[in-house]
Amino acid sequence: MSDVNEALMGFGISDSDEHSAGHQPLERTSSHAMAQMAFTLEWQCENARHRETLVARKFNFWRDILPPELEADLLDRPVGHSAQHRFAAGDLLPPYQASQLIEIRDQAFKRNYRPGHFLEPRAGRFYPRGFIAGTRDIFPGDIRPFRVAEVGQDKLKVELNHPLAGRELQVTATIQDIWAAGDEHGGRCEDVAEMICNNGPGMQARWHNRPTDFFSDIPFSRPAPEPDTAFYAMPRLVGHVDTTASAQIAAIYGELLANDARVLDLMSSLQSHLPADHAGEVLGLGLNAEEMAANPQLSSHQLHDLNLDQTLPYQDASFDAVICSLSIEYLVKPFEVFAEVARVLKPGGRFIVSFSNRWFPPKVTRLWEGAHEFERPGIVLEYFLRDGLFGDLHTRSIRGLPRPADDAHAHQRDASDPVYAVWGTRA
């Protein structure tokens, strides 16, 4: 079983799920069982490896559709069992079709598709298909993504293939909990291939390894222009994701960092999200002294506004690792900061950036707020790639885990905050 699936096994059915609501637990799966399943998709693009984990908390073995290559190895199995299969390009998803890369008139892109917003097409970016309604029988309400591949003077080349089309894909399915299915009263049949591959995976990769144009249109402007030191002057002393999501970030850090690593916690605050038993020195660099003083994992801390001064106050090769947790969306000069991170990292040291889909609206950058959730790892990859200072690049996503029942937002959403991470190694 992979390290990620071992970490996920610690978060089974919560109090709000069917099993603990009175349904009969089972020891093994069957065609009449329900289960919590973790599906992990792994794939590779030209410059990074990617892993997407989606937890299906009410998977129905009778109704929902598994790839045949996995189904036989998941029936009559206990909790903890994993099945894995590598799919050649075109086996799990429709194959790449050259006919789905088409050229359209520039005017066919509806720049004012969203009332009150005016968007220019940018090479490599994704948009709902409704932006090009009328092309290939696409209707205005079609929200499936398409990609602008190239922008010409009066024409656009657009990609209608699935973002993962043409790639080899590996899928791992892990059984996390099993219980007896109740009486059937309708419901929707879920196709696992669509469940794990649609709505984002693949969108973080470049098109034909050409840099994605994320950086036109004043990307780093923000609604609140006052200095960050003023905005963060008052401590908030709250977590920025739920405890399940925080534990997933800690599991990623624990997997990637040596226990005794000397770590710089960049844009630090109340929590570093490192494993509780991390034994190495952790230095915090942030904007609120009271929040950092309350962070039990920091060995020391220092006030520093990276949006005013990108120079890190440390010597070259000072750290085994640098982390940036739930804050990357606030940087207005990320390229300069990433270059400084490379300077203070030891050769072979890792820089790990983790984030979710929650932020302080006045301080988030225009680029981040306007991007699709799965384009954001692509934004961070561009930060890593631009100056060639990092190698061995990876992205990871974890979605669908149950939200803790005692979480303040449990009455609004039953899924834990999604976790995304991007990391690279100092060349």
pTM: 0.93
Q: Report strand pairing: 155-159 vs 169-180.
A: unpaired
- Per-residue pLDDT of 370-416, as tens digits, reads 999 999 999 999 999 999 999 999 999 999 999 998 888 778 888 99
The whole-number average pLDDT for the span 109-135 is: 94
Of the two residues 188 and 321, the one the predictor is more confident about is 321
Q: Could you tell me the pLDDT band of residue 163, with boundaries at 50, 70 and 90?
A: very high
Look at residue 381 and give its three-state secondary structure: helix
How is residue 17 annotated by DSSP?
S
- Per-residue pLDDT of 343-364, as tens digits, reads 999 999 999 999 999 898 999 9
Q: What is the mean pLDDT of the chain?
A: 92
| Model confidence at 183: pLDDT above 80 | no
- Per-residue pLDDT of 55-95, as tens digits, reads 999 999 999 999 999 999 999 999 999 999 999 999 999 99
| Model confidence at 174: pLDDT above 80 | yes
3-90+168-190 in CATH: which number? 3.10.50
The answer to whether domain 3-90+168-190 and domain 228-426 are alike in fold is no
One-character DSSP codes across 221-287: --S--S-HHHHTSS-----SS-HHHHHHHHHHHHHHS-TT--EEEEEE-S-----TT--S-EEEEES
Domain positions in the chain: 3-90+168-190, 98-159, 228-426
The whole-number average pLDDT for the span 209-236 is: 91
| pLDDT more than 90, % of the chain | 83
CATH T-level assignment (fold) for domain 228-426: Rossmann fold (3.40.50)
Predicted confidence at residue 6, as pLDDT, reads: 45
